[in-house]
Every structure is written in structure tokens, then in C-alpha cells.
Structure 1
Amino acid sequence: MGYEKEYDGIIIGAGHNGLITQAYLARTGLSTLSIDKGQHAGGGLQTPEDNSLPGFFHGTHAVSLKGVTSSAWFKDLQLADWGVRFVAPDPSITSIQRDGRAIVWYASPERTAESIAQFSERDARTWRTIAAEHQDVVRELVGPEMSSPAVGSEQRDRILRGSELGRRYLKYAPLSPRQFIEDTFESDAVKAMLLYYCVIREVDVNVPDQGNVVPTFLASQVPGEIAVGGSYSLARALKHDVYAHGGHIMEQTTPRRIVVEGGRAVGVELEDGSLIRARQFVASSLNPHQTFLQLLGDDSTDELTQKTRDFKYQKVGQIFGVNVALKDAPDYTAAAANPDINKARLTFLGLDDPVDVLRLYDNADRGIVSDQVMLIGGCPTVHDPSQAPPGHHAAYMWQKTPYALGGDPANWDTHKERQLETVLDFWRGYAPNLGGANLLGAFAGTPLDTERRFPSMQRGDLFHGWFGPGQRGVDRPFPGMRGHAVPGVERLYLAGSSAHPGGNITGFPGYLAASQIADEVGVSRWWGVRDIWAELAGAELAGGEQ
């Protein structure tokens, strides 16, 4: 047995959610410790410097963020004071077709519709209508729901049906995203782009009861953002804030088990045998398999163990990523017609036929890479030159590929270089300058590499779990959770992307976990949490009493 220390609370996993939980609780006066196996805390918020070409910084996971600066936690923690800055490119997305035409997705729905009109005048009108009809739905319901404590689906739907806005939100809910897209649009280019956008946002397009996600995508006014200096600047600011308020972070530290005594989580034993005690709580931002099967082990309840074994990970969310160092930024042939194409935050390639996108699900089951290459990527240095030497650029492209290539994820180790060349060749078909002397270096990362580097991203799943029935809302990661508190083990909480409201760099799982922990351990919260469901239920009740 090694040394023994004691804190009020311990957070296992110092990704962005874990650090947000810790930053909030450290400001209450609780003594806090976070433990992370990685070399640098921050999880997917990494922007490593190129080992071969100093001065080039590459986003390998979380590159393009969404709405961070407008989030409650970014404002509450005053992270801008630590030097975090963002740029919000417009256009946000462009989807370039093989024939050189492109859909250009601007902040303005009108400008977006103008680019869609070259494919379908009807779809252009439909886009305008949906964006207008759902703009206030997104602003007043969808956004606040993400940062509100979850409620049961029946209660949620009952509350929503009580208002005109809620009924508009529920209008397309019974459909799957695929059904909504196929019923609403006629152009293959528009259909393929929206289906793929669902895929990259980890929405299973075939699952019913989430047809309203697509209208929210079209109507959202929350900008996509790129962190100046790379996404690690956000992780760095969170670390600074934790330390400034008395918290401690142990990196390159592996937990062995969560210590439970009398049915209550009381500490963490490390791999070296050291015991760190927690007077008030233990929180995990890892996935359910790590938390309940590996760390809780014999102290897990039979119900937790079975539900964890049934927990599903994404089938098509895994990425094969290619990062390149360039002299000149990618110059797309399509930009001759619209120079804005070269300035987009994200670039889609190969999305001409919706059938190709839908085939990703079958390909994942079969363990094969799609014959039709489809890519999403960007060139952050167009908007933030600090991520490359002067006059140079760093860019990336991601391809959605299966985790178990040919039935075995280890096959990626021998297939990586071949797939790297496939992606570069396809990319050059749209941006011919990505070759010769302009291409200074390139490297790739596979779904297996993702799992190795970030074990919480099991099976290469960036979002810590499938986002379907039984694994979303109040049921995330599975039915029976008490908010972020683990049933059957007192003072153990989930604070990561496997908890409500789910993955992506939203920070809301950590934000909501911190609020529940503070309330249940009896410390005064210095921040407020908006509960959209309580507000709507109260408004409905008040309306009924008049």
C-alpha cells in the first residue's frame, strides 16, 4: 500500500467535463482532485505540435466546437479571462459535389437557400420555411434543454404539448431523421448533406422519435467556433481555473478501483496501490464499462452490471483522421465559382448520393470501409494563423469508418498507410494543390488509435455511447439513473459524455453533475441552473389558473 491522501471530492477522468465539474466545485471551497491517465488533461481537447515539423499544431479530435462561448459554464467560469478566444467562420459548412457545385451553409438561412436553389428551388423554399419556423424553438427550448436537468419522456412530452412552441417542437418528433429528410427534401445533394451531418453529430438516422433534430440543425443560430491556438487552449484555461481555486490535477495517473464502504463511494485506489480518500463524493467522467465493470467491479450492483453489459456504442461515429502540414491552404476547384468555399469552417466531400451515407451502417456491421469516400474536414489556420508557421497551414480530413476493420480492429495497424493515401488522393480530386511541394507532411489516426489514446472513447466512439432509445435524456446512460447519481452506490456520480445530455464538447454533463453534487453534499451553489421544464410546467399551471 502506498501513501494515503484525502480530499472532499475526487473526479476520475479530467476531460473537459471532468474539469468543468471540478472547476465549479473547487469554487465552493471543496478540496478537489481529478485523476487522468493521459499525459495532458483535457481529453479530446488536444492540439499537439507536429513531431516532424515544429510549429504546426494539429487538431486530432475536437477541432470545430459549437456554441462554447454562449454556454453558461464558459461564462460562469470566466474562461475568457484565461485568454481563451474563438473565431466563428461564416460560412460554417460547404458540401462540394463531384460536378463542382456546392451547397454553402451560411449563418444566414437566406444565403444558404440561395446556394441550395441551384439543386432545387423547392428545397430552397423548404429550408427557409423550416429555419424560420424553428428558430425560436431552438432558442427557447432546444438550447435550454441541453443545460437543464433531464425529466422523463412522458413528463417532457406532456409539458411540451402544453404550449404552441412545444407542439411545434414535437411536430416531427415521431419520425426518424432519415424519414424526415426523405419526406421533406427532393435533392440528393441536400439529403446526403443532412444525413451526413446527423452522422457526424452522432445521431442515428434510422432511429425513430428524433425527427425534430434536423429542423433544429437548420434553425440553429449558435455559431460553430474554432479556438485560437487550438482546442487545447480551452483545456488549459479550465486547468488554470481549477488550480486558481485550490483544486489539484494528477495527470499520467491510472485509477485501479473505486473504493466503496458501507454502500458509499469513499475514495479511489490507484494502480500503484495508493489510496486517496474522498470525504464527500466520487465522480467519474469515464464510460459505463470503465466506471462500473472495471473500477467498481465487485461493488457494482447486479442491475448496474447487466445494464452496463447491454450499453451500446456508436456504429458509424468512428473516424479515420488525416492531418496535413501545407505551404498553401487547400484551394478547392469549386471555389472558382464562390471563393467563400475556401473559407468554410467545415468542408464535406463526396456527398452526392444519400444511399452512400445510409450504406455506412451496413458497412459498419460488415467491418468494411465504404467504396465511396466521404470526408469532413477543415483548415483552421485559414481563420487562426497561430496554428502553423507564418505563411503555412495545417488542415485535416475525417472519414467515417468501422472500428473492427475486417472483423478485427487490429487490422487498422497494417491498413493505416494505405487508407491515408486513399484519403489524400480523394481530397486532391477536389483541391488539386494538396500534393507535390505544397504537401509538407501527413499522418493518420484510426478508430483503434482513438481508443488507445482515450480509453473512455471505447470502440473509437467519440460520444461515449449510442444516442438512441434507452440511452438519452433521463435514461442516459441507461434507465434508472437518478440524474447524475449512480443508483445503489451512495455519493457516486457520472460527469462525462455517457451522462445526460450526451457527447460532443458541450460541457453540460459536467456542468449538471457539479450542480447535483453541490446540492446533495450540502454546499451552497454560487451559480444558478436554469430548469426549462420547471419553468414551462409553472407557466402551464399559471395559465390554467387564470
Structure 2
Amino acid sequence: MFRLPVTIKSAVQRCLCHPLIGRSSGHVTARLLSTSGVHLRAEEKDPLTQEYDAVIIGAGHNGLTAAAYLQKAGLKTLVLERRHVIGGAAVTEEIVPGFKFSRCSYVLSLLRPDIHKDLELQKHGLKVYFRPGSAYAPLREETGQSGRPRSLLLSNDAEDTYNQIAQFSEKDAKNYFIYTKLIEEIGEAIGPLLDSSPVDLSVLGKGSIKERLDSWPAVKTLLKTGSQLGKNLPTFYELMTAPMAKILDRWFESEPLKAILATDCTTGAMVSSQTPGSGYVLLHHVMGEIEGVKHAWAFAEGGMGAVSRSIANAAEAHGATILTEKPVSTVLLDSDQRACGVVLEDGTEVRSKMVLSNATARITYLNLTPREALPKEFIEEVQAIDYTSPVTKINVAVDRLPNFAANPNLSSQEPSAHHTATIHLNCESMDLINDSYEPCTRGEIYHRPMIEMTIPSSMDRTIAPEGCHVVTLFTQYTPYHLANGEQWDEKKKNEYADLVFDNVEDYCPGFKSSVVGRDILPPPDLERIFGLTGGNIFHGAMSLDQLYFARPVPSCASYRSPIQGLYLCGSGAHPGGGVTGAPGRNAAQVASKDLKKRAVRN
């Protein structure tokens, strides 16, 4: 059996003795042991005493993107982060000594191409590894002719993917490429909508001629999208309204393929493939592009925090200031009820001409903004936003490469294509996924949860010690509020992690004995640590009633708020969640334009 190197054993032993780490159920359970490696620019003058054009609440990737665009436009910008590390949910943290985890978001694809280019992210340190495998589903079944269970691997190799699907259905192997081309065409057609503000329906109906003219670019983009959809418009409508199961059943007959494809419509969302309109989350996952390669998915070297770090580097290169451990308590309003800065939790006041919030809409408007300044109807709308989350993220340090019964490791222990893919466990059929959804609606946890496993160290060797690996387990469905008054305490978290590990063991014998540390993040911890209201990774459900000109709320969609000078720049604004950077960039453009108009008027 592979043994942990002596140097790593020593590191783990030191970890066990660390006062911030506790042992439970025979595993190392992370509390808080992380460093970002962030280097902040020194200022001759205290940055908190200066006045800024813009103050941004939160150094998540969208807040950093907004800062980079604002500062690049010549606006003096300050970013204030409450945690000790930048990145928000796109963060790298060293939970176990020597192991660096993408603690929340874990794979890169959706970052908008223009942002990558405009901010010169490669120049500022972003390096990616393109994954040869895209999706892998080992099956839990009796051994077949090969002497082992079957599996399904979808990869960049079209011929191999065809053969992989054909072992289940020749018809599905042919339809798969027609289906993916169609979905990708629809994704490309609606992609431009992500890069611009939604159409303001109130302006179109009642606005002045000037306001209507100002809204024309958004209208033009919407019309162009409709034109590009063309003959695919009926399919797009069906994706937005029908249950994904209905669509997949019409295209395919093999359950493992349908189940893999169904996960793209359920990942991070409190929906099943039987939920009407579940197709949009799928579309959201096919609109990606990395360094000119469309629909590619990759691991960022150093973890997802490296994505945030490269954006921060770009912002700082233009002169932005980024400060950590500076939690904001209140948005400051002047006598005209316009945003004019923020107050930190220690009472420090920071003045600015406008404020952008990377926090969720609920935190921004119900916690940080004086209630009396907001219309009652608006507050009620914000209170009604659906933040239901089914996600528990488990980050795992292991002392060897996971070895799947369906595809045993090479004798060299070098990772194979399936190790680089998103690994779908308990994915034998769509019924199994739906079975894990139903109990969650009652506050219960199914004994075979849906598990998406990645092994970023299979390609990025900077994040784990020699011979060891980092494993991320994105699991659902787990409720925020448990049935029978149970709480997500340490006992419950470890019970759930043990259940998940038992499931992984069914596909990957020896996994449990390889574990040297783990970090368990159910919905309440995702909320507490990262500010994700309800634990929702998208800053609010990506359902049809909370998209485009209804995001974050119908009466005040997109980036502006009822308070002049206060903007929402996080995933709670259009176009929603994922590591896209689009809400940050779009909000910065809107805010910058508004500030110029105000300057002209004054």
C-alpha cells in the first residue's frame, strides 16, 4: 500500500497538534487555518482617511473585477474585505498544512472572455490547465466481461467519447454530438446577454426620450440574441420552461448518459431534473470559454484563489487599494439620501462618491443599508428572494491518488483522463438523482447523495505534497434546516461526511483510509464563512423568476438600487452566479457612467 512520505506525516502530526484543528471521527476537521499569500500595496497615507470615487464592499471575484474596471477608468477605488483573505467564494485556502483547497468554487470556465482580455489576466499571473476529461461516471454494478464495473467518460476526444457512449447505446452516441452542438449554439446566442445590462422595462414604457435612447444598446442586444437563436428559439423556450428530464428522455435512452447531463441542470440549485425550467442552469454551464477555447473547463494553477488574485493584481496595477479584515457595518448616506461611503465595524468612516456591494442582495439591502431609506415594497421583494441551497462542500486531503474499481490506476500512479474530469458518483440513473432530491425538501438527507468529485492536483501539482492529492466533493441534496430540530453541529457534519465517504468508497476502494484531513461546509457554514445567504452559491436561485430583468428583484433589476450611488456588483445581480466576473464588470460600467452624468450636471 502507498505510504505517506515521512515529511508529510510530520506535517499532519503538527496539524493535529495545532489549536485551531480538532480531531473528530478519526479525521482532521478544519476550523480555520489559512493564508492567502496576498501582498497589499503599501500606502504612505492611511487609506481609510482618504476619499474615494468608489468603495467596494467585498473582495470576491466580482468585487475585484469591478475595482479593476473602475480604477482602469481613472476612478480612485477602495475594496474592503471582511475576511483575512481575498476571493470570496473563488478562494484558495490551506486547510491542512501542505494542501491548498479551492474551498468553494473549484473549476474554471465561465469567466467572460472580454474580462480575461481587458484585465490581461495571464500577464497578472493566471495559469490554467485544460482538462482532457470533462465528465466521468463509474458505475456501482456487478463486474462485466472486463472483470470490473463499467464506466462512462466524456472527454475532448470525440472518437473515444462516441465509443464510451456506444457501450450503452449506439443511438445515444450519435445523438450526443447533435445535442451538444445544439445546446452550445443556444449558449453562444445568449452569451452576449451576460455582457450587458438587462433591458429596463420601466424606462421603455414610461421613460423620457433620452432614457429610452440610453436603453437602446440593451434592447439591441436582446433583439440580436433573438435573431441568433433563430430556428433554435423553440428549443431555448423549452429549456427555460420544461423539466430537463422531459428533454433528455426525448434525446437519449441510456440512464448513465442522461444522469450525467442532468447534473448540469441541478448543480448548486434546489431543483431536480423533474423541475420545470431546470434547463437554464444547464445553459449557464455551457457558455464558458478559456483563452479562446470555447466550452473548455480547466483548473487554475494554485486553485480558484489564483483567479481572484490575478484580478486583484490587475486592479492594483492600475492603482486600486485592497484591504482585508475590514468588515463594513453600514452604508453611509448624505442629507439627500445618496450613498457617500461606508462605516466599518470599528466605527471608522470611509468617504466615497459611490458604493458598490459584492454581498448578496439580502445582506446589502437588509443588513448594510439603513432601512428607512428604502421603499417598503422593495424591502418586501428582497425578503422574498429565494436563497434555498442544497449544497454541502467537502474538501479532502488524501495521501494517494484515488483508485476507481471501474478504471484501476496505472502502475506508475500517474493520473489518467478520468482523474481530471468532474467525477459523478451515484449517477447511474436520473431516478437516483431525483431520489436524493425529495428527502431534502423535508429537511432530510438521502443515504445516496449526489456527489461531484474533482481532483485538481491530478493536473496542478502546486497544491499538494508529492504523492498526495487534493479532492473536492460537491454534494447535494442537503437542507439548510434539518428535520426534527437537528442542527449542523460538528457531530452532524462528521456524520454526513462519513456517509459521503462511505459512498465514495463504493466506487473507489481505499478512499477512506487515504484521508488525512477534511473540511466540511454545509449550507449554514457557507453562509457564515463566505456570506452566501442561505448557503446559496449563486447569491439567489437561478430560476426564471429571478433572472435577467427580475434579478435581484423585478421592481429594481440589475445593478442600481433605490438609493442613488449604491450598486449591487455581485452574483445577486444579472447575469447571476458562477465565476463569470460579468456582474462586477457590468456594474462598474453602469456606476462609472452614472458618476460622469452626475459630474456633468454639477
- Which whole-Å CA distance do the structure 2 matches of 1:158 and 1:248 have between them? 36
After TM superposition, the structure 1 = structure 2 runs for residues 182-261 of structure 1, keeping only pairs within 5 Å, are 182-200=249-267, 202=269, 204=271, 205-209=273-277, 211=279, 214=282, 221-261=294-334
The residue number in structure 1 matching 2:153 is 104
Give yes or no for the alignment of 1:447 onto 2:489. no
SS class of match (1:511): helix
After TM superposition, the structure 1 = structure 2 runs for residues 10-409 of structure 1, keeping only pairs within 5 Å, are 10-51=55-96, 54-68=97-111, 71-99=113-141, 100-139=149-188, 141-151=189-199, 159=223, 163=227, 165-174=229-238, 175-200=242-267, 202=269, 204=271, 205-209=273-277, 211=279, 214=282, 221-261=294-334, 262-279=336-353, 281-296=354-369, 297-316=371-390, 318-326=391-399, 328-336=400-408, 340=416, 342-400=418-476, 401-406=478-483
SS class of match (2:431): helix
- Which whole-Å CA distance do the structure 2 matches of 1:29 and 1:219 have between them? 31
1:313 is displaced (CA, Å) by 1.1
The partner residue of 2:505 within 424, 428, 439 is: 428
Amino acid at match of 1:180: I
Q: From the superposition, tell whether residues 203 and 171 of structure 1 become closer, same or farther in structure 2 (CA, over 3 Å).
A: farther
SS class of match (1:48): strand
Q: From the superposition, tell whether residues 422 and 135 of structure 1 become closer, same or farther in structure 2 (CA, over 3 Å).
A: closer
- Which whole-Å CA distance do the structure 1 matches of 2:82 and 2:552 have between them? 22
1:136 is displaced (CA, Å) by 3.7
Conserved? CA contact 1:21–1:511, under 8 Å: yes
Question: Which whole-Å deviations, capped at 9, do the CAs of 1:279-337 have from their partners, x for residues lacking one?
Answer: 2x111111111111111122222122010111111343x224141232x2111111149
Q: From the superposition, tell whether residues 40 and 314 of structure 1 become closer, same or farther in structure 2 (CA, over 3 Å).
A: same
- Which whole-Å CA distance do the structure 1 matches of 2:493 and 2:540 have between them? 25
Conserved? CA contact 2:287–2:295, under 8 Å: no
Q: From the superposition, tell whether residues 364 and 93 of structure 1 become closer, same or farther in structure 2 (CA, over 3 Å).
A: same
Amino acid at match of 2:130: A
Conserved? CA contact 1:64–1:345, under 8 Å: no
The partner residue of 2:539 within 459, 464, 478 is: 464
1:192 is displaced (CA, Å) by 1.9
SS class of match (2:99): coil
Conserved? CA contact 1:24–1:514, under 8 Å: yes
Conserved? CA contact 1:19–1:238, under 8 Å: yes
Conserved? CA contact 2:363–2:533, under 8 Å: no
- Which whole-Å CA distance do the structure 2 matches of 1:156 and 1:358 have between them? 40
Question: Which whole-Å deviations, capped at 9, do the CAs of 1:421-453 have from their partners, x for residues lacking one?
Answer: 2222221221213244x4333342322221111
- Which whole-Å CA distance do the structure 2 matches of 1:325 and 1:129 have between them? 39
- Which whole-Å CA distance do the structure 2 matches of 1:179 and 1:350 have between them? 21
SS class of match (1:230): coil
The residue number in structure 2 matching 1:473 is 548
Amino acid at match of 1:90: P
SS class of match (1:463): coil
- Which whole-Å CA distance do the structure 1 matches of 2:299 and 2:396 have between them? 16
Amino acid at match of 2:456: P
Give yes or no for the alignment of 1:507 onto 2:550. no
TM-score, with normalisation over the residues of structure 1? 0.86
Question: Which whole-Å deviations, capped at 9, do the CAs of 1:362-391 have from their partners, x for residues lacking one?
Answer: 322211111223211111111011111122
* Residue segments in structure 2 that go unaligned for 5+ positions in a row: 1-47, 142-148, 205-218, 289-293, 598-602
Conserved? CA contact 1:322–1:423, under 8 Å: no
Amino acid at match of 1:467: M
Q: From the superposition, tell whether residues 80 and 172 of structure 1 become closer, same or farther in structure 2 (CA, over 3 Å).
A: closer
- Which whole-Å CA distance do the structure 1 matches of 2:429 and 2:234 have between them? 29
Q: From the superposition, tell whether residues 370 and 157 of structure 1 become closer, same or farther in structure 2 (CA, over 3 Å).
A: farther
Q: From the superposition, tell whether residues 481 and 384 of structure 1 become closer, same or farther in structure 2 (CA, over 3 Å).
A: same
Q: From the superposition, tell whether residues 201 and 67 of structure 1 become closer, same or farther in structure 2 (CA, over 3 Å).
A: same
- Which whole-Å CA distance do the structure 2 matches of 1:389 and 1:346 have between them? 22
The residue number in structure 2 matching 1:532 is none
1:19 is displaced (CA, Å) by 0.5
- Which whole-Å CA distance do the structure 2 matches of 1:514 and 1:187 have between them? 46
- Which whole-Å CA distance do the structure 2 matches of 1:196 and 1:44 have between them? 21
Conserved? CA contact 1:150–1:500, under 8 Å: yes
Question: Is the deviation greater in 283-292 or in 295-304?
Answer: 295-304
1:193 is displaced (CA, Å) by 1.8
| Identity across matched positions, percent | 27
Question: Is the deviation greater in 161-170 or in 109-118?
Answer: 161-170
1:480 is displaced (CA, Å) by 2.3
Q: From the superposition, tell whether residues 178 and 260 of structure 1 become closer, same or farther in structure 2 (CA, over 3 Å).
A: farther
1:512 is displaced (CA, Å) by 0.8
* Residue segments in structure 1 that go unaligned for 5+ positions in a row: 524-546
Q: How much is the aligned-residue C-alpha RMSD, in angstroms?
A: 2.8
Q: From the superposition, tell whether residues 148 and 110 of structure 1 become closer, same or farther in structure 2 (CA, over 3 Å).
A: farther
TM-score, with normalisation over the residues of structure 2? 0.79
SS class of match (1:192): helix
1:500 is displaced (CA, Å) by 0.4
Conserved? CA contact 1:405–1:412, under 8 Å: no
